[in-house]
């Protein structure tokens, strides 16, 4: 008969699953000390098999005998491993560099490369000419003392074949070649307007100077191509020729130029170096613009005739209107140069450069300290502008209104 103090349920209690394998002996025993079995032997996990006979808490399903791995924890362990982090960082840097090259640097380099090679005829161009110093205005004291004659430079904006307006403008400024005036065009003398040949003849008759504009460049290249294809003397078949109305007009202009007129235009340089003018420093004439900080000899021929803006980071010029206006950038560059020499040089302006240009009718007349934009849209009904520079560097603007010949 069982004792009243006995507890039969204890034999099934989980707490009795652990049974020491050694017997406790007093510390004074000569036997070496015995240790309990490792704690791991007593660990309990639901995936481990129970003792024979099992327990009432044993798994009832074979699917529960195996626990699925914790994939999220595994992924995090790999992600935070030092070697994996290094690979990840290098991968991100590589992708960023590739993206920057593909999306940013490569297009810009392609644009620059196309600009540098967009004029296959550049080797035959007259790049730079220097104006005869006897035509450049001098110091006013020398003029007043009789040491030199009175001189004026008359710079004229884009004429585009508007001869009547040009004649009116020269009358308004009292142009007198024999009296010491010299006429300088900023390019685009021809095309679009009604009398391009008349403008060229007027310039030649007055021993004028001019730079090569993008419209002179286009017509001269077209004329050379027509000579090669032996179509210069063959009239086009009008609307049945396959050319647009604009192309037909340009081909007709190229065909109408005489050899003397075409050669005169061919001799116009891309850059005309006027020389030192009092109060203006070195004066240079181009049709479109110049890259600041770049020597005249290293300026790209095509950009000089076509640029409107400059990328502020790469300094790559562009004919597009999107970007920083080249003249604004050039003016800031020269202003900084002037300030850096203001207290260390007797005449800091002598080291500065002033550019007279045309081409950009969208900004119309644009007169800054070191850049003078004279294209005021005459052929589209705007105005024809002249910049007059006299002895001592005195400057004045003269304009006349124009008819709208080209829309």
The residues that are catalytic are 215
- DSSP class per residue in 307-351: --EE-TTT--EESSSSSEEHHHHHHHHHHHHHHHHTTT-S-GGGG
Please give the Cα distance from 405 to 160 (Å, whole number): 10
Q: Are the CB atoms for 310 and 318 separated by under 8 Å?
A: yes
Distances (CA, A) of 148 to 60, 68, 145, 154, 396: 119, 103, 8, 19, 21
Q: What is the DSSP letter of 149?
A: -
- 128-139 burial by CB neighbour count: b if 16+ within 10 A, else e? ebebeeebbbbe
Please give the Cα distance from 333 to 129 (Å, whole number): 24
Q: Write out the H or E segment, with its range, that includes residue 152.
A: strand 152-156
Strand pairing of 371-373 and 366-367?
A: antiparallel
Q: Are the CB atoms for 172 and 398 separated by under 8 Å?
A: yes
Q: Cβ atoms within 10 A of the Cβ of 344, count?
A: 7
Mapping DSSP to helix (H, G, I), strand (E, B) and coil, where does residue 214 land?
helix
Please give the Cα distance from 284 to 370 (Å, whole number): 10
Q: Write out the H or E segment, with its range, that includes residue 218.
A: helix 214-228
């Amino acid at each position: 008969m069982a004792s009243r103090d006995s507890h039969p349920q204890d034999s099934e209690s989980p707490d009795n699953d652990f049974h020491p394998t050694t017997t406790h002996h007093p510390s004074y025993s000569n036997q070496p000390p015995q240790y309990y079995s490792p704690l791991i032997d007593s660990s309990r996990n639901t995936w481990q098999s129970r003792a024979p006979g099992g327990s009432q808490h044993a798994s009832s399903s074979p699917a529960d005998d195996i626990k699925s791995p914790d994939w999220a924890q595994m992924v995090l362990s790999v992600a935070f491993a030092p070697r994996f982090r290094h690979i990840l960082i290098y991968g991100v840097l590589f992708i960023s560099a590739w993206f920057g090259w593909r999306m940013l640097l490569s297009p810009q380099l392609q644009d620059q490369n196309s600009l540098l090679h967009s004029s296959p005829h550049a080797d035959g161009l007259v790049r730079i000419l220097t104006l005869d110093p006897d035509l450049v205005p001098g110091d006013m004291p020398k003029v007043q003392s009789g040491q030199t004659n009175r001189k004026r430079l008359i710079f004229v904006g884009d004429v585009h074949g508007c001869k009547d307006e040009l004649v009116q403008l020269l009358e308004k400024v009292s142009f007198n070649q024999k009296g010491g005036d010299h006429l300088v065009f900023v390019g685009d003398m021809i095309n679009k307007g009604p009398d391009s040949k008349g403008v060229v003849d007027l310039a030649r008759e007055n021993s004028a100077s001019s730079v090569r504009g993008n419209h002179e460049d286009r017509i001269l290249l077209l004329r050379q191509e027509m000579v090669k294809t032996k179509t210069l003397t063959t009239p086009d078949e009008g609307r049945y020729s396959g050319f647009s109305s604009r192309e037909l007009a340009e081909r007709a202009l190229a065909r109408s130029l005489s050899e003397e007129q075409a050669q005169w235009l061919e001799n116009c340089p891309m850059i005309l170096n006027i020389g030192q003018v009092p109060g203006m420093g070195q004066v240079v004439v181009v049709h479109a613009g110049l890259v600041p900080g770049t020597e005249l000899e290293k300026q790209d021929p095509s950009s000089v005739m076509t640029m409107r803006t400059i990328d502020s980071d790469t300094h790559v010029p562009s004919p597009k209107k999107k970007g920083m206006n080249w003249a604004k950038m050039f003016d800031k560059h020269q202003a900084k140069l002037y300030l850096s020499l203001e207290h260390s040089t007797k005449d800091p302006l002598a080291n500065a450069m002033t550019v007279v240009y045309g081409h950009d009718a969208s900004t119309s007349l644009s007169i800054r300290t070191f850049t003078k934009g004279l294209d005021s849209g005459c052929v589209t009904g705007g105005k024809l502008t002249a910049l007059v520079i006299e002895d001592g560097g005195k400057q004045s603007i003269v304009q006349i209104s124009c008819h709208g010949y080209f829309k």
